[in-house]
Amino acid sequence: MQDDGKNVDILDFQENLLNWYEQTKRELPWRKNQDPYRVWVSEIMLQQTKVDTVIPYFNQFMEWFPTPEALAYADEEKVMKAWEGLGYYSRVRNLQTAVKEVVEQYGGKVPSEKKDFSSLKGVGPYTAGAVLSIAYEKPEPAVDGNVMRVFSRIFNITDDIGKAKTRKRFEAFLPEFLEGVRPSEFNQAVMELGALVCTPKSPGCLLCPVQEYCKARKQGIQEELPVKEKKKAPAAKDMAAVVLKNKEGKLLIHQRGEKGLLAKLWEFPNVEVPAKQSRPDVLSEFLTKEYGMNVEIGQPIQKVQHVFSHLIWNITVFDAWISENTELNDDAKWILLEEADEYAFPVSHQKILETQKEREAAD
């Protein structure tokens, strides 16, 4: 399709879209002003995450870390806690790393040059375009899922939006749409249209300010676009976890490693249980190897399922007791249940925590 951007009266398209945006746009915490730090934080939080989910996290985050300096110097534990439950935790770890660089290399001012800002950890092509346009009014495209959905339909583009090459195709024709408008308004307007009208299912074409330019709408194929290859189903794993209590009534928790799944979050000790093996056996062997503890595993007390995008944990939680304390490694500690609020846990382990609190209350 060589006619991207043609067949459309761009001036009229811009006017219709921007007028609609002016009337319809939501009041959102990160739209209060154009502070590049606030815009940046919001864009990181909004990656693969709904606006409604982000709002409370954003407000809390800005209270705790109102400036790049505040975040750069903040206790990492507290930063993780601020992100607890939001998912994709590498986003915050990268954000804090990036903000430290902003403080050290740029005097705490978020760089407005594309090459500088793009080089920061966690800042990809979308985030760079979004922050530079929204905070600094740079005419940069910000191509996210909304933008690809809207323009796939406008131009009847059938390329798979999961491919990197497809994103570049959108970036190639969008600058023409950014001429003569405030980039901040235009980019947000397209995303707002995608979020509120040009939705994945049942798009509200009759309410669309640019329906007259939509090729997909004309052909009645708006529901078939954009084209996106479906992913394979996540694999299930059988897991066993322990709520291990010592003589003082403290619980054993463990911090996950720096990299990979749920990095740096805290959890109850757990292992994957290979097929056909007994869960208590695997668990007690794991605790002996990891901490040198001989532990009597009690009854299963809870089942918890943790669904990720690419994997599923089916966790069986066991009771266990230990009479004497042993030497723990640096990633593990004994805590009172009331102290758990200070640590960031994955959702599945928040559920385990909840159940423990209920059991304690019942005693």
Partner DNA sequence: AACACGTGGTG
Partner DNA sequence: TCACCAAGTGT
Q: Name residues contacting DNA, limited to 199-238 (CB under 7 A).
A: 199-202, 228, 230-231, 233
**Dist CA 361 CA 151 (whole Å):** 55
Catalytic member of 22, 27, 43, 327: 43
Nearest 5 degrees, angle CA 314-CA 351-CA 51? 100
* Minimum distance from residue 220 beta carbon to DNA (Å): 18
Q: Does 302 bind DNA (CB under 7 A)?
A: no
Q: Does 51 bind DNA (CB under 7 A)?
A: yes
**Dist CA 85 CA 347 (whole Å):** 6
**Dist CA 40 CA 19 (whole Å):** 25
**Dist CA 103 CA 64 (whole Å):** 17
**Dist CA 235 CA 307 (whole Å):** 10
Q: Does 14 bind DNA (CB under 7 A)?
A: no
Q: Does 158 bind DNA (CB under 7 A)?
A: no
The answer to whether 187 and 142 have CB atoms below 8 angstroms apart is: yes
SS3 readout for 284-313: HHHHHHHHCCCCEEEEEEEEEEEECCCEEE
Q: What is the DSSP letter of 227?
A: B
Q: Name residues contacting DNA, limited to 167-206 (CB under 7 A).
A: 188, 191-192, 194-195, 199-202
* Minimum distance from residue 187 beta carbon to DNA (Å): 9
Q: Which of 189, 114, 180 is nearest to 151 (CA)?
A: 189
User: Which residues of the chain form beta strands (DSSP E)?
Assistant: 235-245, 251-255, 266-267, 270-272, 296-307, 311-321, 332-335
The answer to whether 250 and 335 have CB atoms below 8 angstroms apart is: yes
* Minimum distance from residue 150 beta carbon to DNA (Å): 9
The answer to whether 322 and 314 have CB atoms below 8 angstroms apart is: no
Q: Does 347 bind DNA (CB under 7 A)?
A: yes
Q: Tell me if residue 43 is catalytic.
A: yes
* Minimum distance from residue 321 beta carbon to DNA (Å): 28
CA 220 to chain centre: 33
Q: Name residues contacting DNA, limited to 235-274 (CB under 7 A).
A: 260-263
Closest to DNA by CB, 8 or 225:
225
Closest to DNA by CB, 36 or 194:
194
Q: Does 33 bind DNA (CB under 7 A)?
A: no
Q: What is the DSSP letter of 122?
A: T
Closest to DNA by CB, 50 or 303:
50
**Residue 53: C-alpha distances to residues 45, 144, 145 (Å):** 9, 18, 17
* Minimum distance from residue 193 beta carbon to DNA (Å): 9
| Residues in a beta bridge with 241 | 270, 317
Q: Does 292 bind DNA (CB under 7 A)?
A: no
Q: Does 303 bind DNA (CB under 7 A)?
A: no
Q: Does 115 bind DNA (CB under 7 A)?
A: no
Q: Does 149 bind DNA (CB under 7 A)?
A: yes
* Minimum distance from residue 59 beta carbon to DNA (Å): 15
Closest to DNA by CB, 49 or 314:
49
Q: Which of 362, 355, 356 is nearest to 249 (CA)?
A: 356
Q: Does 165 bind DNA (CB under 7 A)?
A: yes
**Dist CA 143 CA 130 (whole Å):** 8
**Binding track, positions 77-96, relative to DNA; x by CB under 7 A:** --------xxxxxx---x--
Closest to DNA by CB, 134 or 287:
134
Q: Does 362 bind DNA (CB under 7 A)?
A: no
Among positions 8, 110, 128, 322, the unique one binding DNA when judged by CB under 7 A: 128
* Minimum distance from residue 231 beta carbon to DNA (Å): 7
Which are the catalytic amino acids? 43
**Footprint of DNA (CB under 7 A):** 28, 42-43, 46-53, 85-90, 94, 121-128, 130, 144-146, 149, 163-165, 188, 191-192, 194-195, 199-202, 228, 230-231, 233, 260-263, 306-311, 346-348
